Amino acid sequence: MTAWDVADDDEDAAGSERTTAPSHLEAAVLVEKLGRRYLDLVRVQLRRLGLDDVSPSQMMMLLSVGPGEISVNDILARGGYVGSNTSHSLKQLVERDYLDRNSSARDRRLARISLTEKGRTACALFRADDADRFGDLDRRALETTRDTLRHLEDLWVHVLRFGAIALTPCFTSSFIDALRVSSFI
């Protein structure tokens, strides 16, 4: 049975009691599916806000830039984007005046990007609309979901880096976050 079969079986059995234990594979399929659904939602929000010249993935990039300057590599790391697609999208956002792009003074090959006034306005509009529509979601449930997804990511990164050795219970998500901050990961 493939991951897709599991997802299809879950949809077919909607409303019936789950008979098998959940797996990380099932979570991965659901996360991918939710990502696509969310981009559909973003597309509708952008259209309603009159931001027709920005794609959903470009809006997510704008939101990940934040208030300061950031390197293109950091955008890749934060969003999990593919390099060539990211470069093309960033170029379009610069051309449409949502982003400023400057070469690093130290190394001209490295680019630093930041939001323009138009980009900050678009992000503020999107965040306000998002808060109006989804501000009443259960914060505690969202925090639990976020923590669970981060734990899965940490586990998968650990397996990728170190092989099929599972994290021991002492490696909690907060411990791994502390390692990340200290540049060990």
For the domain made up of 1-6+20-136, give the CATH fold: Arc Repressor Mutant, subunit A (1.10.10)
Among the listed residues 90, 97, 92, 96, the one whose alpha carbon sits nearest the alpha carbon of residue 112? 90
Residues 6+ apart with CB under 8 A from 75: 61, 64, 65, 81, 86, 90, 113
Cα–Cα separations (whole angstroms), residue 172 to 31, 73, 157, 169, 176: 21, 27, 14, 6, 6
pLDDT for 1 equals 46
Residue matched to tokens 């997804």:
149
Torsion of CA 107, 70, 111, 91, to 10 degrees: 180
Whole-prediction pTM? 0.70
pLDDT, residue 182, reads 47
pLDDT at 185: 45
Q: In order along the chain (185 residues), what is the average pLDDT of each group of 10 residues? A: 49 56 85 91 95 93 88 78 77 95 79 93 95 86 89 86 62 55 48
Rounded to an integer, what distance in angstroms lies between the CA atom of residue 61 and that of residue 99?
10
Instruction: Map out the domains of the chain as residue ranges.
Output: 1-6+20-136, 137-185
Q: Which residues contact 55 (CB under 8 A, 6 or more apart)?
A: 43, 89
CA-CA distance, 144 to 86, in Å (whole number)? 30
